[in-house]
Structure 1
Amino acid sequence: MSDHVRLDLPVVLPEVPDADDACVGRLTESLQEQAGVTEAHVATAPNGAPARLCVHYDPDTISLPRIRQRAQGLGTELTDQYGHLSWTVEGVSRPRRARTIARRLRRIDGVVEAEASAAGQIRVEYDRAKADEDKIRDGLRSMNVQVQGDVLHARGPAGGTGGKAAGHDHEHGGLFGAQTELVFAILAGVCVAAGVGASFMGAVPDGVSWGLYVAGYVFGGTYTVREAIDTLRAGEFEVDFLMLVAAGGAAVLGKWLEGAFLLFLFSLGHALEHYAMGRARRAIESLADLAPDTALVRRNGTEREMSVEELRVGDTVVVKPSERIPADGVVTKGESAVDQAPVTGESVPVDKAPVEDPEAVGEATDVGAAHRVYAGTINGRGALEVRVTKQADETTLSRVVQMITEAEAEKAPTERFTDRFERVFVPAVLGLVGLLLFAWVPLEEPFADSFYRAMAVLVAASPCALAIATPSAVLSGVARAGQGGVLVKGGGPLERLGRLGAVAFDKTGTLTEGKPRVTDVSPYGGTSEAELLRVAASVERRSDHPLAEAVVQHATGRLEGTPLGEARDPESITGRGVRATVDGQPAHVGKAALFDEVDGPSLPGALRDAAEALEAEGRTTMIVRRGDDYLGAIGLADTPRPEAAEVVDRLREIGIRRMVMISGDNQRVVDAVAARLGLDEARGDLLPDDKVETVRRLGAEEDVAMVGDGVNDAPAMANATVGVAMGAAGSDAALETADVALMADDLSRLPFAVGLSRQTRRIITQNLWIALGMVAALVPATIFGLQIGPAVVLHEGSTLLVVANALRLLRYTPS
């Protein structure tokens, strides 16, 4: 007989990045080798908690304490042996260069895995026995890559936080700073144009034109040579190398003009590609610039200006009208409307008011949204005093920027496919060119003609546009989502979100407001509505149940100052209702089933029918009895969000074919809400495990998203194609749990996210067709005689077209 135990993964492997980390795989493999252990795997924990290590074992062979001891021992060994680095760097401006840098990092002795992205993110896993942080820094410096703000994730005793690395960034440095590459490309074009002009002037010696073309080679080839050397060091042949071979071949044939023209257009395309990727990155960096650098802080009765980095939890900051809020916190004084669009994407300013008891405030999540404020949002006309609840590097804004930046490093499935395709395609192109070099043998033509044809094919077949097609679109899509208050964690979720055929919604708090309200008051037996409400509220006022609070709130408003009765000896009857003494008589408030269990007259048929009619309309009912007299029934409902029906319609217009609501509420309530919103299906009476199974069944039929609050729905979200969390700005767990997080508690952001994802997939598809189509057209054309010049124009034109097409995503607006 076997048993199993679950261990907290972060305890076994301190500060592990995520459950997909390679160290987790090593840990489970090592555990499975232990006698008595039958299986070890990672289990997703509910409620947004960290993943857990699940170990199945035979208790007759190995004891539970031994399991715990061995797991912790292995975790310590792995922690001591393997380090992890995550750095933001400069000098990685294009996907091709990112791939080259990752390959060269992997060649460093001791580096187990390395990834780099054109977004300037580098991740490295290394064996501490063979490599260290300094060794990896030196490797990056040798590639002219400069580490900016180190975000070090090095675990164990060898860890630490690095500072800025020294070194010179050649990519962004030079005579003209960050624009040097573009200036060199323009100078190459000027030289080519001047050389052509000089060739038509009889008085100018031929050597002048040749000298200008050589200068064009120098200016156009400087950065191309640098990247070609990088790729050759990594043992790869990339586009830069192919272009240099073609330009060199043109020079050998005396075609200096065509060679210089090739390098001019290629370097110009690279420079503009660099600009485009930088523009997408700057759209994300602009989020980080939203928070002010200083804050007006009140300490010990005095106010002074200080850096936001110096703010401490518990400080009080004074925010003047129209200023940006410097930190996450809770309003303790003043009222104002705050523009939260920079963080949550909400189009309308949100009213803020002080909490009732500032001294009792703990975390910002302990209070309602009307009292919480976020760093980077803009105060309205009223002055506010805010108690800081998070330090500068832990604010919602800083975490969003960090997650978006990390998301840029995650490759989309299409990008991984194109990478694999290129690894096969480039050697195939070189093989074809090698064959064409010998075409003079069967064709009986001069070798120079075959050589020229081979160089033209080399230009035509270079997959420049293919390399940039997907990453440029993904980067732009992630940046645009961030601007719209949607956090998308990488290219994978972005693509998967666009493939959805079905969406499963949690009901409470997602499609509905999560706050029950009294919708119906039905007196019985001559009782007045006021008397029914007075007795019900008197009994319920001592309860903190949401339904009870709704009854008390409604009664207080309707009775207009009439005092409620004093309820003595209140007693909760679990799952049924409440009992108390009101006006000297026993009073009961609860479900119809309650009155089948307590002493006294049975529930009248007419009142039971009235309650069942309310339940058929989706109401939760309360029956009220005082003494032996039944006073009536009260109907409550968790009302749908105002925008929910419109969101369902918009999703259907976008192309979502199936929308399902899943809930733990009773089936009649769920059916009523689903019918009101126009959903396709409604499944009620579900336990958390039932929700998981429902999502799995939907996912087996088509790609499905699970939309919830990111905490209670974490298991179901983990089993969906894409997990979407709402209201993530107020929930750390929601930020960590979901693939896609809607920062505002606003369901209307969902169609924007799905629409943006679908547009991103369309643009990726268009880019791939443009890139592959141009190669497919140019290769046979050059084989049959198309000159290098026209081939270069068309080839580089397709690259620029792909980049321009991707940048359209930065201006995406829902139709």
Structure 2
Amino acid sequence: MERSRIDLDILLPEIPDERDACVERLINMLQYKRGIDKVHVIAGDTDKKARLCFHYTPSEISLNGIEQIAKKAGAEITEHYGHLLINTTGVRHPRHARIIEAALEKYMGILTVSVSGTGFIQLEYNKEVTTDKTVLEQIGRTGLAIINVEDFHVHRQESQEKMHEDQDLNPDHDHEAGADEHAHGGVFGEKTEGIFAIICGALLGIGFGLSFIGGVSPYVSIGCYIAAYFFGGFYTSKEAIEGISKGAFEIDFLMLVAAIGAAVLGQWAEGALLLFLFSLGHSLEHYAMEKARKSIAALADLAPKTALLKTGGAISEVQIETLKQGDIIVVKPNSKIAADGIVVKGNSSVNQAPITGESVPADKMPVENADAGLENSDKLDAKYKVFAGSINGGENLEIKVTRVAADSTIARLVKLVNEAQTQKSPTQNFTDKLERYYVPSVLVLVGILLLAFLVVDEPFSASFYRAMAVLVAASPCALAISTPSAVLSGVARAARGGVLIKGGKPLEELGALSAIAFDKTGTLTEGKPKLTGVYPLAGIAEEPLLEIVVAVEKLSDHPLAAALVKGGEERLKKDIAAAANVSALQGRGIKADYKGAVIHVGNKELFAEKNNKLPDNINQKVEVLESQGNTTMIVQQDDRYLGIVTLMDIAREDAKETLTRLTDMGVRKMIMLTGDNQKVAEAIAGQIGITDAWGNLLPEQKVAAIEKLRASEKKVAMVGDGVNDAPAMAKSTVGIAMGAAGSDVALETADIALMADKLSNLPFAIGLSKKASRIIRQNLVISLGMVAVLIPLTILGIANIGPAVIGHEGSTLVVVFNALRLLGYKKQ
């Protein structure tokens, strides 16, 4: 049996990621084809995209046959299923989002749909039953205004053209800044709901005040209350009717019934108070959603709209959409960088905080070979790379564009954050399910209380009044807004801090972690070997020994040689001329002529073979140094041993402090997973405070290690730089990718992406998650606690509609403002 792998985006170019239902459909189609024994997904990493792995029998099917079958199956699925991310305006709050979601689920051809409280709609549809044009028409009929439509992974102009062709679906729709205002269809634009609530309150106050003035007819006060009913009940009635038309009895319906009931009983003031506070709460909920939305939308405005394109000696201003890979753009001092690229001219410090959250500007310099191909630009050192939306310092830069505007890091970040808004948290799923059964239960309870006069000696009016009070008290208004407002605020704050959190689930689970597994290389360590020690033997000083090593290693292209040369010249503070007749000894070291002598630099195996045996004193010294995690290189001149130099992939400067902070935050166990030998792993672990170090692990063994951890710790995160870590990330509770800025695959495969290559951002993300979880719990206690208190009080007649309204709407306002506190969360 043999294996073959095919990039998933070749087979299914439109899917958002490998967790999409279409991947499972594709596997099911291929699993039982003749000659194919097994098909499974291999998650992507920073070097490779997500792939399908085929286990097949060569005697029954050829490699070419597999490719043809897979492409055909992928084409069939792509032909049958479409995926859209749609940005709309007009969703006023999470309850309204749920009504829209329920309505869209009923349309023929829509398979799955998720609507966020900020107006983003993510859906999958069957192309055999409907089209994207029809889907947009169906969304238009819900009263939403469409801002833009995006196919996943495919920026199709035709979708945009269809949207513009069909503007008649939304008569109030405007693609410019005013679009949001018209989404409400009010005379005051987007502020209409709030202004109506204020007018309602003013009329209520006037009517209540006039009732105490002698000689003023009571009908004047009633007239004011009726006018207050109109302004306070306008949006309540609108949403209640919309919900009923879609078969949903939402909170708006309950409030409307209670207000009408109060009017029937002649309690106009209490009914007007109910509608005033409810409409005010509504408008503040909408304000909370808009604040979170605008915080996220601000990301899209980070990149400038135009760039200075250099063509020959001429410079012209162009739209960023027209930039192509390989174009050279000029960035003036203190201006925003217009595209992802590499610096080809100029030195400057660049503020990358808008993308990575780094507080200190990063120094940038020109790449040595400006004419090099763009295909390897991702592998260049960070000092050569810049991102769209970052801010140049005080010097001119010339940048070669490596990504077009639609594929820039900031564009992908915005898109992924928008997708994240549609992903519900476990708590939100719980509260949604609770409300689905809770609202009908409230209606049944109210129906029973309406008949209380048959059992209790009281008039029907008293039973009716009590039932209306219970209706107000039992409405789960605060419950509906408690979780989504906190999740959206948390996701927005994280994005501003350089952390991408993909929805409510990872936001909640991140703070509950009890164990974190770290990849070593590039995560806990710098990922690059550095010269750590020079140990001359008798008869030679450190400086001449280092000169010989640098001269010999200067012409080698081995990564260790580059580290020796760089570290040596930094210590010597001068350039050293290269040796002559350099030749590599594969897997052992290097040989060269230098100042009339033959120099060998290599590992102990080289000298054990060359001289039959390594002297005991040198062998013991090498073993001691290697036990401390060093890679050792022995230096010999002719037949004389000159000394030993050591290299090590050293721990990050912030690693120890970060791990200490994580321990203080309640993470009990921190484990290093690495392919390096156990001694190296233990040496690094001892330096930074890792509790356990597991070395000599292959990628599949890292997966087994995560499974073992989950069995004992339940909530486990895997933190890596993406290289070979993706399978382990997929098995963990939360997968966290470091240094995701500029890496498409790291952005798409991880649950949480730390945009900067800084481990210190991890405590910020966990701290934000913990605070978000606390706020969600607080909101649930406030919302459910208020209901639990008010229901008995109103049933027993201790509290009437007035206190019930104040308690009900007061709790709603409290949870809204409590959730908004997350937007102000500060890094510790």
TM score, norm. by length of structure 1? 0.95
State the partner residue of 1:722.
734
Match of 2:493, SS state, is helix
- Indicate the SS of the match to 2:741: helix
Assess, with a 3 A threshold, how the Cα gap between structure 1 residues 440 and 152 changes in structure 2: closer, same or farther: same
**Given that residues 493 and 722 in structure 1 are in contact (C-alpha distance below 8 angstroms), is that contact kept between their aligned partners in structure 2?**
yes
1:390 to 390, 397, 403: 403
* Whole-angstrom CA distance in 2 between matches of 1:744 and 1:123: 28
Distance 2:9 2:573 in 1: 55
The residue type equivalent to 1:788 in the other structure is I
Match of 1:11 in 2: 10
Conserved? CA contact 1:570–1:581, under 8 Å? no
Sort the Cα spacing of 1:789 and 1:524 in 2 relative to 1 into closer, same or farther, 3 A. Answer: same
Q: Does 1:257 align with 2:269?
A: yes
User: Hey, what's the Cα distance between the residues in 1 that align with 2:507 and 2:211?
Assistant: 53
Q: How does 1:339-738 map to 2 (within 5 A)?
A: 339-360=351-372, 362=374, 364-559=377-572, 561=574, 563-564=576-577, 566-574=579-587, 576-583=588-595, 586-598=598-610, 600=611, 602-702=613-713, 703-738=715-750
User: 1:185 aligned to 2:184?
Assistant: no
CA offsets 1:122-153 (integer angstroms, 9 cap, x no match): 12222223222232222222221011022134
| Range moving further from structure 2, 586-595 or 176-185 | 586-595
User: Letter of the aligned partner of 1:797 in structure 2?
Assistant: G
State the match for 1:196 in structure 2: 208
3-state SS of the aligned residue for 1:679? coil
Q: Secondary structure at the match of 1:292?
A: coil
Question: CA contact under 8 A between 2:535 and 2:644: conserved in structure 1?
Answer: yes
- Residue 328 of structure 1: CA displacement? 1.7
Q: Distance in 1 between matches of 2:673 and 2:327?
A: 43
C-alpha distance 40-435 of structure 1, shift in aligned 2 (>3 A): farther
CA distance in 2, matches of 1:229, 1:464: 17
Kept in 2: contact 1:460–1:779 (CA 8 A): yes
What is the alpha-carbon distance in structure 2 between the residues aligned to residue 324 and residue 34 of structure 1?
A: 53
Answering whether residue 349 of structure 2 is matched by residue 337 of structure 1, we say: yes
What code does the residue aligned with 2:502 have? K
Matched, 1:87 2:79: no
Provide the residue aligned with 2:179 in structure 1.
none
Structure 1 residue 505, shift from structure 2 partner:
1.5
- Residue 398 of structure 1 aligns with an amino acid whose one-letter code is A
User: What's 2:71 paired with?
Assistant: 72
Given the superposition, is the C-alpha separation of residues 777 and 551 from structure 1 closer, same or farther in structure 2, using an over 3 Å criterion?
same
Q: Is the 8 A contact 2:4 2:53 kept in 1?
A: yes
Q: State the alpha-carbon separation in 2 of the partners of residues 322 and 157 from structure 1.
A: 34
Kindly state the Cα deviation for residue 332 of structure 1 after the two structures are TM-superposed: 2.0
In structure 1, how many angstroms separate the alpha carbons of the residues matched to 2:691 and 2:348?
Answer: 41
2:804 aligned residue (791, 795, 798):
791
**Cα distance, 1:105 vs. partner?**
0.9
Letter in 2 for 1:513: E
Task: Write out per-residue CA displacement over residues 568-609 of structure 1, whole angstroms, 9 at most, x where no aligned residue.
Answer: 2502322x33344545655432222332223x2521111111
**Equivalent residue letter for 1:325:** I
2:411 partner letter = S
SS of 1:261 mapped into structure 2: helix
Task: Report if the CA contact (8 A) 2:15-2:153 is conserved.
Answer: no
Partner of 1:218: 230
Rounded Cα–Cα distance in structure 1 between residues aligned with 2:700 and 2:74: 30
Alpha-carbon distance in 1 for matches of 2:51, 2:4: 10
Q: Which amino acid in the other structure matches residue 539 of structure 1?
A: V
Aligned residue in 2 for 1:309: 321
Do the aligned partners of 1:48 and 1:714 also contact (CA within 8 Å) in 2? no
Deviation of 1:3 after TM superposition, in Å, equals 6.6
Cα distance change, pair 783–60 in 1 and its aligned pair in 2 (3 A): farther
Contact 1:767–1:805 at 8 Å: present in 2 too? yes
Q: In the alignment, which residue of structure 1 is the partner of 2:218? A: 206
Q: State how far apart, in whole Å, the 2-side matches of 1:619 and 1:5 are.
A: 38
Q: Deviations over 1:341-389 (max 9, x none)?
A: 1111111111222222322252542432222222222222212222222
Q: Note closer, same or farther for the CA distance 1:471–1:561 as it changes in structure 2 (3 Å cut).
A: closer
Distance 2:398 2:648 in 1: 37
Q: What residue number does 1:98 align with?
A: 97
- Assess, with a 3 A threshold, how the Cα gap between structure 1 residues 565 and 89 changes in structure 2: closer, same or farther: closer
Deviates more, 1:618-627 or 1:647-656: 618-627
Name stretches of at least 5 consecutive residues in structure 2 with no aligned partner. Answer: 174-181
| Contact 1:711–1:734 under 8 Å retained in 2 | no
Counterpart contact for 2:45–2:722, Cα < 8 Å: no
- Using the TM superposition, give the Cα deviation of residue 46 of structure 1 relative to its aligned residue in structure 2, in angstroms: 5.4
Helix, strand or coil for the counterpart of 2:307?
Answer: strand
Which has the larger displacement, 346-355 or 565-574? 565-574
Distance 1:389 1:8, change over 3 A: closer
Other-structure match for 1:117: 116
Distance 1:711 1:69, change over 3 A: same
Contact 2:344–2:370 under 8 Å retained in 1: yes
In the alignment, the residues of structure 1 paired with residue 38 and residue 255 of structure 2 have an alpha-carbon distance, to the nearest angstrom, of: 52
> How far apart are 1:623 and its partner, in Å?
1.3
Instruction: State how far apart, in whole Å, the 1-side matches of 2:253 and 2:405 are.
Output: 45
**1:754: which partner in 2?**
766
Deviations 1:307-348 (A, max 9, x none): 223333323222222212222222222222211111111111
- 8 A contact 2:350–2:363 mirrored in 1: yes
Q: Which amino acid aligns with 2:335?
A: E
**In the aligned structure 2, how far is the partner of 1:721 from the partner of 1:501?**
11
Partner of 1:20, secondary structure, is: coil
RMSD of equivalent CA atoms: 2.4
C-alpha distance 514-78 of structure 1, shift in aligned 2 (>3 A): closer
Q: Distance in 2 between matches of 1:790 and 1:221?
A: 19
2:755 equivalent to 1:743? yes
> Which is further off, 763-772 or 11-20?
11-20
* Distance in 2 between residues matched to 1:153 and 1:557, nearest whole Å: 48
The one-character-per-residue Cα deviations of 1:516-544 (angstroms, maximum 9, x if unpaired) are: 22222112242333343233333322322
**Structure 2 CA distance for partners of 1:750 and 1:59, relative to 1, 3 Å:** same
Fraction of identical pairs, as percent: 52
Aligned amino acid, residue 431 of structure 1: V
**How many Å apart are 1:562 and its aligned residue?**
7.1
Range with greater deviation from structure 2 (787-796 or 60-69):
60-69
Q: Distance in 2 between matches of 1:782 and 1:653?
A: 46
Cα separation, 1, equivalents of 2:360 and 2:46: 31
**Following the alignment from structure 2 to structure 1, what is the Cα–Cα distance between the partners of residues 547 and 784?**
75
TM-score (norm 2): 0.93
What is the deviation of 1:639? 2.0
Q: Please list the CA deviations of residues 708-762 of structure 1 after superposition, one character each: whole Å capped at 9, or x if unmatched.
A: 1123322222222111111111322221222111111111111111111111111
**Which stretch of the first structure deviates more once superposed, 212-221 or 608-617?**
608-617
In 2, Cα distance between equivalents of 1:423 and 1:508: 49
Deviates more, 1:152-161 or 1:133-142: 152-161
The answer for the alignment partner of 2:177 in structure 1 is none
Counterpart-to-counterpart distance in 2, 1:334 and 1:439: 83
How far off its partner does 1:34 sit? 5.1
Unpaired segments of 5 or more residues in structure 1?
none
Cα separation, 2, equivalents of 1:338 and 1:322: 9
Name the count of aligned residue pairs: 812
